[in-house]
Homo-oligomer: A and B are copies of this chain.
Amino acid sequence: MARARHTSFECSPGCAVEATLSLIDGKWKGVVLYHLLDSTLRFNEIRKKLPSVTQRMLTNQLRSLETDGLIERKVYPVIPPKVEYSLTERGRSLEPVIMALKHWGDANKELWPDEFGLVVAAD
């Protein structure tokens, strides 16, 4: 369908922010992209890096990233199955964004929400 010629945007300029955000929200997309910056990874390799993600959710997020053209999924027809995920060029172009997010996060650890697994000293 006619997604084709979006000749003009009535969006206020900030809309670009949301557009980008919409691609990397979802509970795990950010981290997945981050880890793929380093190297191509297999399904279970990604999984190991995300302690608490479920199989279903990881599959979901990966499919979504694939649909958005940010990652590529390469299936090797072997047994047992082997599937590799890597960044597309477009995905890699997000590197500055991902790194900006990471740097800010590192610089502001003190105020991370509780969910992010901080270990509180028992004593």
**Interface on A for B, CB 8 Å cutoff?**
2-22, 24-25, 27-28, 30-35, 49-51, 68-69, 90, 93-94, 96-98, 100-121
Other than A10-B117, A17-B102, give 15 A-B pairs with Cβ distance below 8 A.
Answer: A3-B120, A4-B121, A6-B120, A10-B119, A11-B116, A12-B49, A14-B30, A14-B31, A17-B30, A21-B24, A21-B30, A93-B104, A93-B107, A93-B108, A96-B104
Known A17-B30, A51-B12, A108-B90; judge A113-B2 contact (CB<8 A). no
Nearest Cβ on chain B to A36's Cβ, whole angstroms: 10
Q: How many copies does the complex hold?
A: 2
- What is the CA–CA distance of A108 and B21 in the complex, to the nearest angstrom? 12
Question: With a CB–CB cut-off of 8 A, which chain B residues contact A116?
Answer: 9, 11, 15, 18-19, 22
21 contacts between A and B (CB under 8 A): A4-B120, A11-B116, A11-B117, A12-B50, A14-B30, A14-B32, A14-B102, A17-B102, A18-B28, A18-B31, A19-B105, A19-B113, A20-B105, A21-B24, A22-B116, A25-B25, A90-B111, A93-B104, A94-B104, A96-B104, A97-B97
